[in-house]
Amino acid sequence: MTASAEEYASVAAELARGVPFHGRPRYEMPWRQITTVAACRAKLVESRRMQLASLEMWPDQPHLDLGYVPWQESSRVNAKGNLAHDDVHFRQSSALLAQWQKRTGRSSS
């Protein structure tokens, strides 16, 4: 989830600055290294910091005319559309957390 969010934020910043899509700038950390809740939270905080920083790279007048088709079944997206994709991941993770809480009777804190 964090790799996708960081990738889409990076691509969105480039598109907004007028840089045509030139490939996927993706790094996915070895997820098996996340072995504690604290490590998971730390990665989420780090990812959020990087995504928010990418928004500071947007010009006052973004190039919303630039876009690309991220995968074959997708429609064309511009910088704003690229950022909207992360909302899907957020809803998925929220639904998973709710299922876990219902099944275990525990809260996430």
Give the per-residue pLDDT at 87.
Answer: 75
pLDDT of 108 > 80? The answer is no
pLDDT digits (tens, 9 = 90+) for 16-33: 999 999 998 888 989 899
pLDDT digits (tens, 9 = 90+) for 41-93: 899 999 999 999 999 999 999 999 999 998 888 889 999 998 887 777 778 87
Torsion of CA 56, 76, 25, 90, to 10 degrees: 70
More confident position, 3 or 106 = 3
Q: Is the dihedral of CA 99, 97, 55, 27 positive or negative?
A: negative
**Which of these, 50, 60, 74, 76, lies nearest to 18 by C-alpha position?**
60
pTM for the structure as a whole: 0.79
SS3 49: helix
